[in-house]
C-alpha cells in the first residue's frame, strides 16, 4: 500500500506540473499576442468592467481548466507510460502497482474535471442535467482510456514499430473518413435520417461507449503487465 501511495502521488505530481506548464505556456502566448496587438494598434485602453470577474468569466475559466486537464491527461497517457514504467521498476514497484497507481491518478483527474463541468452547467442554467453529465463522463473516459491503451502499446514497441504503428493509425483514420464520405454520398438523405434516428438514443451511444472503454482498459492492462525494459 505504501508503494501504491508513493507511485500515485508521484504520477499525480508529474501530471500536475505538466498541466501547470501547459496552462502557463498558453496564457503566456496569449498575453504576448495581446500585447503585440496593442503595440501595433497603438490603442491602449482597459475598461474597468473587463477586469471584473462575473459568472461568464468564471464559466470560461472553468471550461478552459477542465479542457486543459483532460487534454494534458490524454497527452500524458500517450507519451509517458514507458518512462514511468522504467522509473517504477528501478524503484522496486511492480507492474500491477504502477498500473493501478496510474489509473487512480486518472480517476482523480477525471473526477475533478467532471465536477468542473457540472459546476459550469449549474452556473449557466441553475441545474445539472445528469444525462448530459453522463455523456461528458463517457466521452472523457473514451479519450483517456484510448490514449492509455495507445501509450502502453507504444511502450511495448521499439522506435521503428512506433513509427509504423503511427503511420498505420493515420492511414486508417483517413481511410475511415473516406469511407464515411462515400457512405454519405451513396445513401439518400431520407435513408440517412432513418438510419440516424434508429440508433440515436442515449442508451445505444452510452452502451457503445462503455464497451469501447472496457476494451481499451483491457488492452491497457495487458500491455502494461507485459511491458519490458529495452534498449533503443
pLDDT value at position 232?
A: 56
For 86-120, the pLDDT digits (tens) are: 888 888 888 999 999 999 999 999 999 999 888 88
pLDDT value at position 191?
A: 65
CA triple 60-30-47, angle to 5 deg: 65
What is the phi/psi pair of residue 200, to 5°?
Answer: -80, 75
Residue 207, classed as helix, strand or coil, is helix
DSSP 8-state symbol, 44: -
Residue 126, classed as helix, strand or coil, is coil
pLDDT value at position 48?
A: 46
pLDDT value at position 212?
A: 92
Residue 230, classed as helix, strand or coil, is coil
In angstroms, what is the C-alpha Rg of the chain? Answer: 22
CA triple 128-130-133, angle to 5 deg: 90
Q: What is the mean pLDDT of the chain?
A: 82
pLDDT value at position 195?
A: 61
Residue pair 105/11 in contact by the 8 Å Cβ criterion: yes
**Interatomic CA distance for residues 114 and 67, integer angstroms:** 10
pLDDT value at position 102?
A: 92
Residue pair 209/141 in contact by the 8 Å Cβ criterion: yes
Task: Pick out the chain residues at pLDDT < 70.
Answer: 42-56, 184-185, 187-201, 231-232
Residues 6+ apart with CB under 8 A from 105: 8, 11, 12, 15
**Interatomic CA distance for residues 101 and 8, integer angstroms:** 4
pLDDT value at position 184?
A: 67
**Interatomic CA distance for residues 102 and 81, integer angstroms:** 9
Amino acid at each position: 500500500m505504501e508503494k501504491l501511495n508513493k507511485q500515485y502521488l508521484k504520477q499525480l505530481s508529474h501530471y500536475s506540473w505538466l498541466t501547470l506548464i501547459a496552462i502557463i505556456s498558453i496564457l503566456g502566448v496569449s498575453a504576448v499576442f495581446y500585447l503585440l496587438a496593442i503595440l501595433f494598434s497603438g490603442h491602449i485602453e482597459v475598461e474597468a468592467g473587463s477586469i471584473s470577474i462575473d459568472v461568464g468569466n468564471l464559466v470560461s475559466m472553468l471550461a478552459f481548466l477542465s479542457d486543459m486537464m483532460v487534454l494534458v491527461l490524454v497527452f500524458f497517457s500517450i507519451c509517458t507510460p514507458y518512462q514511468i514504467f522504467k522509473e517504477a521498476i528501478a524503484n522496486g514497484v511492480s507492474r500491477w502497482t504502477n498500473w493501478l497507481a496510474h489509473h487512480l491518478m486518472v480517476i482523480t483527474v477525471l473526477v475533478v474535471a467532471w465536477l468542473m463541468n457540472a459546476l459550469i452547467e449549474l452556473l449557466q442554467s441553475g441545474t445539472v442535467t445528469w444525462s448530459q453529465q453522463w455523456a461528458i463522463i463517457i466521452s472523457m473516459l473514451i479519450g483517456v482510456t484510448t490514449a492509455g491503451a495507445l501509450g502502453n502499446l507504444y511502450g511495448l514497441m521499439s522506435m521503428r514499430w512506433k513509427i509504423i504503428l503511427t503511420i498505420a493509425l493515420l492511414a486508417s483514420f483517413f481511410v475511415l473518413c473516406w469511407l464515411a464520405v462515400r457512405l454519405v454520398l451513396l445513401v439518400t438523405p431520407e435513408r440517412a435520417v432513418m438510419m440516424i434516428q434508429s440508433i440515436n438514443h442515449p442508451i445505444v451511444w452510452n452502451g457503445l461507449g462503455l464497451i469501447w472503454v472496457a476494451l481499451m482498459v483491457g488492452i491497457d492492462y495487458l500491455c502494461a503487465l507485459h511491458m519490458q525494459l529495452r534498449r533503443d
